[in-house]
Amino acid sequence: MTSRINLTFLGTGDSVPTDRRNHPGILLDFDGEHILFDCGEGTQRQFRKAHINPSSVTRIFISHWHGDHILGLPGLLQTLSLTGHQKTLKIYGPKNSKLYLYRMLESFAFVDKFLIELVEVTKPGIVVDEKDFRIEAEMMEHGTPCLAYKFIKKGHRRIDKNKLSKYKIKEGKHLANLKEGKDITYDGKKYKAKDLIYEDEDVSVSIVMDTKFNNKIIPFVKESDVLIIECTFGNDLVEKAIDHKHMTSKQVGEISKKAKVKKTYLTHISSRYETNLNQILDEVKKVFKNVELAKELGSIDV
């Protein structure tokens, strides 16, 4: 049985919250890890609305230190402290994160700082490398240090249990060679490894938050199973997108198409499109079909 990746969109709005959308926050659940990407104001309440305990968070990845992506941190850390969170909480963020986090913690009297281990990510590449998954980062362009992240569930060589029962091969130590891709002899018969094993492919989820379009995005998100990407402006506001260092729907469509991603979810939705959400969705669809708006408090399996 392979573990699934589950994503919950805790907040799909931008810098101004509305009655329908909270500030950015995405929870990725995989094999006991509850990984939070960005923590806008009100994120811990969004956890409650999604019926997930905020104290279950194991790691937090910050894209950048604009308020809409981090103002939920003090409240979440306070809750973790009050509920006796035992494990070290690992927080990852761009250059200057240590300074910002230190200043933030200094502003409050109640947070237990000993629970936090901060990793400042100052170059692109692998940030976390565990047995079953890794997380990579890439530098974005947003006027302040900003990171895109990619979660990769590692593919593994697995034994096909159905084949074992078909050939009446019992489980046991003799299967160790199979896991290494070697042929085996069982009960006097030879079996080829390729007939009894299969390879699980990598599964990747890319999260591209605030940035202007840049040449690093497409190679970074290439062939992602899921791309969650900011789509702050429609094609009617190209100049504004350039001024504010955000992307337009056309650019998001082109990134998705050129990178050959399987599915794209739009987030960081501006309140100006709330009464006409189809505008940005249709603009992306003109370039790339397999796209949806991230649903506030919605959850998907990858």
Residues that are catalytic? 68
Contacts of Zn ion in 156-185 (CB under 5 A) = none
Phi first, then psi: what are they for 95, rounded to 5°? -45, 140
Residues contacting residue 224 through CB under 8 Å, at least 6 positions apart: 150, 204, 205, 206, 259, 261, 262
Distance between start and end Cα atoms, the chain: 15
23 touches Zn ion by CB under 5 A: no
Smallest distance, Å, CB 206 to Zn ion?
Answer: 17
Number of residues that bind Zn ion (CB under 5 A): 3
- Considering only residues 66, 153, 212, 250, which one is a binding residue for Zn ion as defined by CB under 5 A? 66
Q: Closest by alpha carbon to 138, among 67, 34, 89, 209?
A: 209
Instruction: With CA atoms as reference, report the closest residue to 273 among 263, 283, 264.
Output: 283
Tokens of 34: 């509850």
Which one of 68-76, 113-121, 133-141, 195-203 is the stretch in contact with Zn ion (CB under 5 A)? 68-76
Cα diameter, the chain: 73
Looking at 29, 41, 68, 296, which residue binds Zn ion (CB under 5 A)?
Answer: 68
Provide the 3-class DSSP secondary structure of residue 263. strand
Query: CB under 5 A: which stretch of 65-73, 147-155, 256-264, 282-290 binds Zn ion?
Result: 65-73
Name the minimum Å distance from CB 37 to Zn ion.
12
Residues in 207-246 that interact with Zn ion by CB under 5 A? 210
Question: Closest separation between CB of residue 203 and Zn ion, Å?
Answer: 27
d(CA 296, CA 8): 9
Q: How far is the CB of 150 from Zn ion (least distance, A)?
A: 19
Q: Smallest distance, Å, CB 200 to Zn ion?
A: 35
Nearest residue (CB) to Zn ion, 28 versus 208 = 208
Query: Which listed range, 58-66, 98-106, 126-134, 248-256, lies at the site for Zn ion (CB under 5 A)?
Result: 58-66
C-beta separation of 91 from 74 below 8 A = no
Backbone φ and ψ for 165, nearest 5 degrees, come out as -70, -30
Interface residues with Zn ion (CB under 5 A)?
Answer: 66, 68, 210
